[in-house]
Amino acid sequence: MGLTGYIVFISPTNYHKLTRCNQCNHDFAYKEDCKPDVRETTTKNGTTTRYTTRTYKCRFCGNLKKEHETLKMDPINYADKV
Structure confidence by residue, pLDDT tens digits, 20-57: 888 998 888 888 889 999 999 988 888 899 999 999 99
CA distance 82 to 72: 24
The answer to whether position 18 is within a domain reads yes
The model's pTM:
0.65
Number of residues assigned to the chain: 82
The answer to whether position 19 is within a domain reads yes
Rounded to the nearest 5°, which phi and psi values hold at 19? -105, 10
Higher per-residue confidence, 5 vs 22: 22
Number of folded domains that form the chain: 1
Whole domain around residue 40: which residue ranges?
Answer: 12-81
Positive or negative torsion for Cα 35, 66, 20, 15: positive
The answer to whether position 5 is within a domain reads no
Average of per-residue pLDDT across 50-78 = 89
